[in-house]
Amino acid sequence: MPTNNGTAALERQIRRLIDERQKHSQAIEAIDRTLGSIRSLIGGDAGAGGAAGESVRPRRGRPPGRTSAQQAQPAKRGRRRRRRFGVNAEQFVLDFVKGNKNSSTRDINAAWKEQGRGGTADNTLTRLVKEKKLKRKPIEGERGSRYELA
């Protein structure tokens, strides 16, 4: 039975591609041997396991893929959510100062945190002083102030 010219051409093409692949794999092995001998001459494992063109010296500076902002920030704690409290911030501070005579900024902020509020009460204190609902008296020789009702 006669063979089809198309089939014979395809078989020749496949044999040619297999031969080329064999030549390429032998060339890659020769390149690997050459790079191995160069590595041993340079100094042992320096740059071992890498591709051609890789630096022999260790990399200096920040690890790849990390920005300076990411390095400076602590790990993320999750999404902050808005919270609601039974008493608004101004009323909370006024009630605290009314119940605790001669309260300091530190005392008010400690009670603020104890209630589970975020941040500090500093902005609320400033607003109440500007609205003349509280009087501020600086503490001599220390940070902070003492507050009393106006």
Q: Structural domain boundaries of the chain?
A: 1-49, 89-149
Q: Which of 61, 58, 32, 34 is nearest to 47 (CA)?
A: 58
Contact call for residues 12 and 26 (beta carbons, < 8 A): no
HSE (CB half, 13 Å, CA atoms) of 20? 6
- What confidence score (pLDDT) does residue 88 get? 92
- What confidence score (pLDDT) does residue 1 get? 47
Q: Which of 149, 134, 139, 140 is nearest to 106 (CA)?
A: 139
User: In angstroms, rounded to a whole number, what is the distance separating the alpha carbons of residues 1 and 142?
Assistant: 109
Q: Please state, in angstroms and as integers, the Cα–Cα distance from residue 150 to each residue in 95, 97, 124, 128, following that order.
A: 13, 11, 15, 10
The third-level CATH classification (topology) of the domain covering 89-149 is: Arc Repressor Mutant, subunit A (1.10.10)
**pLDDT tens profile 82-105:** 888 889 999 999 999 999 888 999
- What confidence score (pLDDT) does residue 79 get? 79
- pLDDT digit string (tens) for the chain, length 150 residues: 456 788 889 999 999 999 999 999 999 999 999 998 888 888 765 444 555 555 567 778 777 776 666 666 666 677 777 888 889 999 999 999 999 888 999 999 999 999 989 889 999 999 999 999 999 999 898 888 999 998
List beta partners, residue 146: 104, 137
How many C-beta atoms surround the C-beta of residue 112 within 10 A?
21
User: In angstroms, rounded to a whole number, what is the distance separating the alpha carbons of residues 99 and 112?
Assistant: 14
In the sheet that holds 103-104, the strands lie side by side as: 103-104, 145-149, 134-138
pTM, entire model: 0.48
